[in-house]
């Protein structure tokens, strides 16, 4: 009688084979995704002499921190880090401050022509190549004497992060039921009071997530910084990193890896913090439209 309630033997075997196949595939993905990362970490802790040896291995025989020290000696990493921090922080804060009210309007009046135009712009701005924007932007900023200045770069980063900031924030606003605001307004709190004391606290986590995402994007950004900043003392982290590159001898690989690792850490930590919100925020659009 047991055979009736249990799947036939052949099916079980097949299912087990499928499972094995799935694990093999997963292993393949893990290797493909993980091995460059492991190699970066490994190189960062390997001494130049060992790296130049005949057979560089995954785990250094004598792990060393010399590469990190040498990286700071070779390039102005601290100043570059400070520049990046300033640009990313300012861009993130400004972007969120000006985007939140507009996102509110886009979410609550999503059928108005303005909201539609804004949504259209968000989509189109994804598709346009940066060359077409960077040349005129360069000329405009030059006239404003904002070339080779962090101020100009921050302006560009703000505008450049607005599309996804609006997109994400509008999603978070939609999650706040308008009835809550109305109830507060009826209770005698003014419209603005209702917004500030009811909606804003509920939006706060979304606003923080959006700001952190904008920060990460600005911290990682390379193209605008490459074009807009000329003086070495103003350059940001990604641009300074490319200064390590050239016809690099094996001796420079360790410091290069060490500096790269340091440049990645802030993004990685922040990304781990906001991951869940980012994926749901960006998906709000992808899934619904």
Partner 1 sequence: MTPMTATARPDRRAGAGASGGGAPGVRRVTGHGAWFLVLPALIPILLLSVGPLLYGIALAFTDAQSGRTEPTEWIGLLNFQDLAQDTLFWESFRIGLLWAVAVSVPQFVLALGLALLLNQNLRFRWLARALAIVPWAMPEVVVGIMWRLVYHPEAGILGETLGTQRDWLGSLGTALPAVVVVGIWARLPQVTVVLLAGLSNVPRELHEAAAMDGAGAWRRFRTVTWPAIRPVALAIGALSFIWNINSFALVYVLTGGGPGGRTRLPMLFAYEEAFRYGQFGYAAAMGCVLVAVVSVLLAVQLVGRLRGDDR
* Smallest distance from partner 1 to CB 2, Å: 19
Q: Give whichever of 65 and 135 is closer to partner 1, judged by the CB atom.
A: 135
Pair of tokens at residue 80:
């570059």
* Smallest distance from partner 1 to CB 145, Å: 15
Look up tokens 């979304």; give the residue.
206
Look up tokens 């509008």; give the residue.
170
Q: Give whichever of 92 and 107 is closer to partner 1, judged by the CB atom.
A: 107
* Smallest distance from partner 1 to CB 197, Å: 15
* Smallest distance from partner 1 to CB 133, Å: 5
Q: Give whichever of 79 and 226 is closer to partner 1, judged by the CB atom.
A: 226
* Smallest distance from partner 1 to CB 69, Å: 19
Q: Give whichever of 85 and 159 is closer to partner 1, judged by the CB atom.
A: 159
Q: Give whichever of 4 and 127 is closer to partner 1, judged by the CB atom.
A: 127
């Amino acid at each position: 009688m047991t055979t009736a309630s249990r799947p036939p033997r052949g099916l079980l075997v097949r299912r087990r084979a499928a499972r094995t196949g799935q694990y093999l595939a997963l292993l393949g993905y893990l290797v493909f995704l993980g091995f460059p990362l492991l190699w970066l970490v490994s190189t960062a802790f390997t001494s130049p002499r060992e790296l130049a040896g005949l057979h560089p291995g995954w785990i250094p025989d004598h792990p060393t921190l010399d590469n990190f020290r040498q990286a700071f000696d070779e390039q102005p990493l601290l100043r570059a880090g400070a520049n990046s921090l300033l640009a990313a922080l300012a861009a993130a804060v400004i972007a969120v401050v000006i985007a939140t009210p507009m996102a509110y309007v886009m979410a609550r009046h999503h059928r108005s022509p303005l909201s539609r135009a804004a949504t259209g712009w968000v989509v189109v701005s994804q598709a346009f190549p940066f060359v077409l924007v960077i040349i005129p932007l360069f000329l405009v900023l030059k006239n404003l004497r904002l070339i080779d200045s962090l101020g100009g770069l921050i302006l560009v980063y703000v505008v450049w992060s607005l599309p996804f900031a609006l997109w994400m924030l509008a999603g978070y606003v939609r999650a706040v039921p308008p009835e809550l605001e109305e109830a507060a307004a009826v209770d005698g709190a003014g419209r603005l009071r209702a917004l500030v004391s009811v909606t804003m606290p509920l939006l706060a986590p979304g606003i923080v997530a959006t700001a952190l995402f904008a920060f990460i994007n600005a911290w990682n950004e390379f193209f605008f910084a490459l074009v807009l900043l000329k003086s070495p003392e103003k350059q940001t982290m990604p641009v300074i990193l490319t200064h390590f590159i050239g016809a690099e001898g094996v001796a420079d690989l360790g410091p290069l890896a060490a500096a790269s690792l340091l440049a990645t850490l802030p993004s990685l930590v922040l990304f781990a913090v906001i991951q869940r919100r980012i994926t749901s925020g960006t998906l709000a659009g992808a899934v619904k439209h």
